[in-house]
Structure 1
Amino acid sequence: MCGIVGYIGKNEKKEVILNGLKELEYRGYDSAGMAIYDGVELRHFKAVGKLENLSSKMSDFTSAGAGVAIGHTRWATHGKPTEINAHPHLGEYSFVIHNGIIENYKELKTELEKAGVRFVSQTDTEVIVHLFEFYNKSASSPFEAYEKTISRLQGAYATLLITKAAPNVVFFAKNAAPMIIGQSGDEFYFASSDAPLIGLCDSAIYLDDGCYGFADTSGNLKIFDSDKKPFNKAPTALSKDKGYAQKGGYRFFMEKEIYEQSAVASECLMGRISGDEVCLDIDESVLESRDEVVLCACGTSYHAALTASYLLERLAKIRTKVEIASEFRYKSPFLNKNALFVVISQSGETADTLEALKIAKNAGLKSLAICNVDNSSIVRLADAVLLTRAGIEKGVASTKAFATQVLVLWLLALRLAKMRNTLSPSEFSSETEALRGIPAVLNFAPALQERIYRICKHYLHGHGFFFIGRDIFYPLALEGALKLKEISYLHAEGYPSGEMKHGPIALADSGLYTIALLPSTCLYDKAISNAQELAARDAFITAISPEPFELADDYIATSKHSHMMSEFFEMMVVLQLLALEISVRLGNDVDMPRNLAKSVTVE
């Protein structure tokens, strides 16, 4: 999703902003821009497409000396991806950048137009800068005008504003979208994620919803909370490791992150399994006396939630519901006060999931967040948190985040099983043994990728893909289809294998590619029967299985395992590599697929 970077200081501001925005490229964007003010001249630059287009436009521009700068990468919501709609947006003497959505922008726009203000873009963001300048005509100070402006905004926003009316000042505000402030001496850095701040600051302040304020070139920083009282929050230490920003010899971040899964799985499990005991690093009072689990998420995280629903009901014998966060928000859900409400998000800023969490908390439910980003909005709001410890994931199509989400949810299912006494000692021991073996399962040889690359030449034509699986391999089929859609732009669907005959099999012919998940540990005979039904209708069958399938047109052999989750994780890697290599053959940008964003901070 959109990225924000701001800077106050004496360094070359163009480079500070461009370097910061590069750290946010993984979030997805379609245009970029920046505004720079040195106390004399207010300049701005915008470009559609990648950051190099913006950099080229600014090649002859320098901005050394004390001053302020703001930069933005935009993922289009209101209005097409054009230079006019790109941020920053200009008033008569001010610039603003903004993440989120101003829900009452039409009302504000109509009000301003009646006052003679002319709008040039299709965006909701433009109302902020015009509203500020409207109030500044009568306010006692620019900061008072900014306060009035922020008080009128409804919805989600993280915003920075610079203006000739207050030279060398950056005004900022945050509500339901992330905003972080770092300081190094008299220099200030602003960002929508901590990634641009690493290496520049030792610590940062993570603003709460409703916070706003200003910073200036004299080293002053004033932050106020939603009640207009001083906000005194201790800074949080930042990581000093920028290793995630390097591809390490891999062609793509996604490829690197697929190979990293063995290591991050070990990190995810570290300290959480002791002998045959599962030790969750949370206050377990949130788990006590629960008679239901509600899992709520979007996209890939939703598929992890579906996977967990099988584990929770099978192992912990607890009623489990799975909700799509964007639907949950508006369905007037009936909530059981004894339910544990679990939200799952890679970024911790997913707008729909965050709002769902707020609904559950307002209804009095205990909440647990499963997240990859510490200090994110969801992490700060939930009653308890299990971090997935996957490290920053820069590929837009999630891989290692999904793997670690499933691992954490499996741990949760086992801890609940122990608390509810639903597994025998031998059954529990079998589960923990399988868990400890997952890092080894995820440690695959490059020969697997080479094999998949060779067979991918078969899949560049045709009219679509069906990914099919049964039981816990059904949500894996959904995830495999999503990975392929995200980066190849080919049509793909995931289905429960047994559902094909209830309609979808009408599409079966030689141009339909079926990716059949055929694990030996889970309903193998049933899954084979479903694959045979498709083969009988001339569908092209790719079998992923430890057992050869005589009707398969392509066969990707997996290892024999005694536990279905070991097969699950090995097949997960195969599906990730399949999507990657098909995308490579099609010549697509694997890490930054079109139209997508990494951190979805709007509805």
Structure 2
Amino acid sequence: MCGIIGFTGELDAVSVLTKGLHELEYRGYDSAGIAFFEENCIHTVKTEGKVSNLSEKIENERNYTTSCGIGHTRWATHGGVSDINSHPHTSGKVTLIHNGIIENYKELQKEFEKNEILPVSETDSEIAAMVINDCYHGNPIEAIKSAVKRLHGAYAFCILFEDIPDTIYAIRKGSPLVAASSGQGSVIASDLVALLDYSKDYFVLPEDCIACLKKDCITLTDLNNKTVEKKMLHVDWDVSAARKNGYDTFMLKEIHDQPEALLNTIMPRVKNSLPDFETDGIPDSLFEQVNRIIITACGTAMHAGLVGKNRMERLAGIPVSVEIASEFRYSNPILDKNTLVITISQSGETADTLAALRLAKEKGAKTLSVVNIKGSSIARESDYVFYTHAGPEIAVASTKAYMVQLAAMYLIALKLCCVKKTQTDCFIRNEIQNLEKISDSIESMLDYAEQVEQIAKEIKDASSLFYIGRGLDYALSQEGSIKLKEISYIHSEAYAAGELKHGTISLITDGVPVIALATQKDVYAKMISNVQEVRSRGGKVVLITSQMPHLDSSICDYHIALPQIEDDFAPFCAAVILQYLAYFTASLRGLDVDQPRNLAKSVTVE
């Protein structure tokens, strides 16, 4: 969840670190700090608040000259938000930054207290620094090896040893780190976006390997002192994709990125108007014996899975369940070789989803992962990988990553139809053609911004808000609800419209906004009945429909009609409306759309 960067090389390290932290701030923005070598000692500057606060503090202190250091932007887990709890943390000759959670830090703290060694902060990370320092007797590799045997939990560490200048050591377990070398130096970070100014060729630090970063090289050693070869990867998207490019916010830019992201995800998987996964290395045999599918994910990715369940069951006739990854891993699920477990994660590092994947593999199920980041933990550990091609997504609230996850679900459902022969080739080709047109449909949806902004003005002061829908619309309403609540801080819930009379309708009073999705013809009449029930109790209704020839305007306060599109593909278009609604509501409330409070982009700890 936290942002990590380390640099050693020919450039001004303070500038490299602060620039990198600005780019990584979406991973955490409670506090920030840097530590670096200067005049044969390690100097640390850190502060509560955003990276801009850190930059100001650095400028106000003095000019620093250094070529090696580490930086951190924090999403607090242990200990409150304060200067003292900010990273980096120092113990003796060891200074480190940490992403993750040390589960046994309290036990370790008590061991130190017996020897009257007390931490300064309230963090588990400082305890990790104390353990490494306790193990350090001049050999950093041996110190790290000894320390990690005592540390239980998840971690990505970048470590400076006071008596080994211009060198950074790193190790990870369960939390991401990527690294690269160039003529300018060596750099390591928790996300690719911080590397791109220095190299488009990178590698993922393998778990339980110690990286030693020097100005001109990076070496890897496993815990048995064997040299490990780096598996190099290449960034195949333009560096500008990680910039705002003239937009006010990353979220707005990423909403506008969606047509291109869809094309990049869909088109490589279509051959002769049929789904083709050959370039992904996903064989048809993966699907042949499958008689049950479990989709497991968290948050927005899980909502994409709900749409996937609808498509797979309706088109391929295979029973599908969607499980919250954090619950799935503790539920002792019944799995076998004929079960396909599909995990969905934008980052490929989501802790609970990774744990669910590992559990599925242990129980003998086949695994297929839908991820956006090459070389991520979930991608490496899954049997097969379906890469979405959204490019970097910086805003905490997911938009284009969700859209391409939807596309992945549709493509997998249609591939199942091909393999299982549940639909004719003619039907599948028609569906593929509709899917190929989605990019143009989304392009037209971008013109709805002004209309949605006017509606946002009417709901921005609400204290509570509800989304309702049936079928695909219910799956989508859950995504709309989470999008609104996470960036506007308005309490929001999504309900299956047919359940209104089973308690929920008691919450509908005068002026309460209700976003009603009614894009599916087969349940349209029932949805309109539900909308009328809401109206009769004073609810303020925003109705989103497909093109309907006859609509009684009195049943809603605001109506948004999607472009002409087949019902099965309406979620793509309606999703843009819901993204815009969340975006403009939060903006009109004067909130930080890209960095909502208490949230971070990638949840790499439980």
Pairwise same-fold verdict (TM > 0.5): yes
1:84-123 matches, within 5 Å, as 84-123=84-123
Paired residue for 2:249? 252
TM-score of the aligned structures, taking structure 1 as reference length: 0.96
Distance 1:273 1:236, change over 3 A: closer
Q: Determine the C-alpha separation between the residues in 1 that align with 2:405 and 2:237.
A: 25
Moved more, 330-339 or 317-326: 330-339
1:220-259 matches, within 5 Å, as 221-239=218-236, 241-259=238-256
Paired residue for 1:515? 515
- 1:321 deviates by 1.1
Q: Determine the C-alpha separation between the residues in 1 that align with 2:483 and 2:250.
A: 15
In structure 2, what residue type is equivalent to 1:330? Y
TM-score of the aligned structures, taking structure 2 as reference length: 0.95
- Residue 175 of structure 1 contacts residue 210 of structure 1 at CA under 8 Å; is this kept in 2? yes
Structure 1 moving runs of 4+ over 4 Å: none
In structure 1, what residue type is equivalent to 2:573? E
1:142-221 matches, within 5 Å, as 142-185=140-183, 187-217=185-215, 219=216, 221=218
Task: Give the match's secondary structure for 2:344.
Answer: strand
Paired residue for 1:596? 599
Q: Determine the C-alpha separation between the residues in 1 that align with 2:288 and 2:574.
A: 34
Q: Determine the C-alpha separation between the residues in 2 that align with 1:477 and 1:350.
A: 23
C-alpha offsets along residues 409-459 of structure 1, whole Å, 9 cap, x if unaligned? 110000011111111334323312221111111012654111111222211
In structure 1, what residue type is equivalent to 2:557? D
C-alpha offsets along residues 534-561 of structure 1, whole Å, 9 cap, x if unaligned? 1111111111113334310111222232
Paired residue for 2:492? 492
Moved more, 104-113 or 292-301: 104-113
Q: Determine the C-alpha separation between the residues in 1 that align with 2:210 and 2:109.
A: 22
Paired residue for 2:63? 62
- 1:213 deviates by 3.6
Does residue 584 of structure 1 match 2:594? no
1:171-570 matches, within 5 Å, as 171-185=169-183, 187-217=185-215, 219=216, 221-239=218-236, 241-280=238-277, 281-284=280-283, 285-444=285-444, 447-545=447-545, 546-547=547-548, 548-549=551-552, 550-561=554-565, 563-570=566-573
Q: Determine the C-alpha separation between the residues in 1 that align with 2:479 and 2:201.
A: 36
Distance 1:176 1:520, change over 3 A: closer
Q: Determine the C-alpha separation between the residues in 1 that align with 2:111 and 2:134.
A: 11
C-alpha offsets along residues 133-157 of structure 1, whole Å, 9 cap, x if unaligned? 2222xx3534322221122211111
C-alpha offsets along residues 478-532 of structure 1, whole Å, 9 cap, x if unaligned? 0000110011000111111111111110101113111000115341111111111
Moved more, 19-28 or 489-498: 19-28
- Residue 286 of structure 1 contacts residue 367 of structure 1 at CA under 8 Å; is this kept in 2? no
1:133-148 matches, within 5 Å, as 133-136=133-136, 139=137, 141-148=139-146
Q: Determine the C-alpha separation between the residues in 2 that align with 1:434 and 1:244.
A: 27
In structure 1, what residue type is equivalent to 2:590? G
C-alpha offsets along residues 324-360 of structure 1, whole Å, 9 cap, x if unaligned? 0011121222223311111000111101101111111
In structure 1, what residue type is equivalent to 2:201? S
Distance 1:221 1:276, change over 3 A: closer
Task: Give the match's secondary structure for 1:565.
Answer: helix
Task: Give the match's secondary structure for 2:423.
Answer: coil
Q: Determine the C-alpha separation between the residues in 2 that align with 1:179 and 1:595.
A: 23
Q: Determine the C-alpha separation between the residues in 2 that align with 1:543 and 1:335.
A: 41
Task: Give the match's secondary structure for 1:394.
Answer: coil
In structure 2, what residue type is equivalent to 1:62? N
- Residue 31 of structure 2 contacts residue 49 of structure 2 at CA under 8 Å; is this kept in 1? yes
C-alpha offsets along residues 201-236 of structure 1, whole Å, 9 cap, x if unaligned? 24222111111142335x454312244422112322
- Residue 184 of structure 2 contacts residue 198 of structure 2 at CA under 8 Å; is this kept in 1? no
Structure 2: gaps spanning 5 or more residues: none
Task: Give the match's secondary structure for 1:256.
Answer: helix
Q: Determine the C-alpha separation between the residues in 2 that align with 1:461 and 1:193.
A: 36
- Residue 29 of structure 2 contacts residue 75 of structure 2 at CA under 8 Å; is this kept in 1? yes
C-alpha offsets along residues 161-186 of structure 1, whole Å, 9 cap, x if unaligned? 11213233212111111112211247
Paired residue for 1:27? 27
In structure 2, what residue type is equivalent to 1:152? R
- 1:82 deviates by 1.2
Task: Give the match's secondary structure for 2:288.
Answer: coil
Q: Determine the C-alpha separation between the residues in 2 that align with 1:124 and 1:522.
A: 54
Identity percentage over the alignment? 39
Distance 1:237 1:432, change over 3 A: closer
Moved more, 283-292 or 588-597: 283-292
Moved more, 400-409 or 516-525: 516-525
Task: Give the match's secondary structure for 2:531.
Answer: helix
Q: Among 567, 571, 575, which residue is 2:574 paired with?
A: 571
Moved more, 268-277 or 309-318: 268-277
- Residue 176 of structure 2 contacts residue 191 of structure 2 at CA under 8 Å; is this kept in 1? yes
- Residue 463 of structure 1 contacts residue 491 of structure 1 at CA under 8 Å; is this kept in 2? yes
Distance 1:259 1:238, change over 3 A: closer
Q: Determine the C-alpha separation between the residues in 1 that align with 2:445 and 2:497.
A: 29
CA RMSD in angstroms, aligned pairs only: 1.7
Q: Determine the C-alpha separation between the residues in 2 that align with 1:215 and 1:354.
A: 28
Structure 1: gaps spanning 5 or more residues: none
Q: Determine the C-alpha separation between the residues in 1 that align with 2:246 and 2:187.
A: 31
In structure 2, what residue type is equivalent to 1:160? C
- 1:292 deviates by 0.8
Distance 1:520 1:383, change over 3 A: closer
